[in-house]
Amino acid sequence: MSVIGLAGEPPVTTWSRLGNTDPVRTAVRFPIQVQVQLKTPAGDVDAITENISANGVLFRCDPLPQINSRIEFTIFMPATVMGTPEDVSIHCVGRVVRHQVEGENQKAAAIIDEYLLRA
């Protein structure tokens, strides 16, 4: 899928998606930017989240993990953000479902299949 700019300008966003169906977003996304280290089949990759929901995460990194590859990462959320007395860590296991390229920004979206909260 490409988003075309005004007056026929070249695409400003390019998506690569697993399969041909549009995802159904069923969870609210929060614009939370935190650094995470992704564990991928190709090795560890440093990334920054763009937004997070109960079902998935959008993150920036280089190189991008392959579509349909398994990833693991842990997000550390401050107590003030979570409304808890202590900081919370969220360990996530998921899979990359699409890529998005905007100029030099490379992003990937992943579905979170499993997560474990620790306070």
The predicted-structure confidence for 58-105, as pLDDT tens digits, reads as follows: 999 999 999 999 999 998 888 887 888 998 999 999 999 999 988 888
pLDDT for the residue 25:
53
User: Structural domain tally of the chain?
Assistant: 1
The two structure tokens encoding residue 9: 């300008």
Q: Is residue 71 part of a domain?
A: yes
Q: Is residue 3 part of a domain?
A: no
pLDDT for the residue 24:
53
Q: Is residue 51 part of a domain?
A: yes
Q: Give the pTM.
A: 0.73
* Structural domain for 113, as ranges: 27-118
Residues β-bridged to residue 4: 11
pLDDT for the residue 5:
34
Distance CA 47, CA 28 (A): 21
Q: Per-residue pLDDT tens for 20-36?
A: 444 555 688 889 899 99
Distance CA 38, CA 8 (A): 37
pLDDT for the residue 26:
67
| Better-scored residue on pLDDT, 21 or 5 | 21
Q: Is residue 4 part of a domain?
A: no
pLDDT band at 118 (very low <50, low <70, confident <90, very high): confident
Q: Is residue 92 part of a domain?
A: yes
Q: Is residue 62 part of a domain?
A: yes
Instruction: List CB contacts of 36: < 8 A, sequence separation 6 or more.
Output: 46, 47, 48, 49, 59, 73, 74, 75
pLDDT band at 2 (very low <50, low <70, confident <90, very high): very low
Q: Is residue 12 part of a domain?
A: no
Q: Is residue 16 part of a domain?
A: no
State yes or no: pLDDT of 13 exceeds 70.
Answer: no
> What's the CATH number where 102 sits?
2.40.10.220
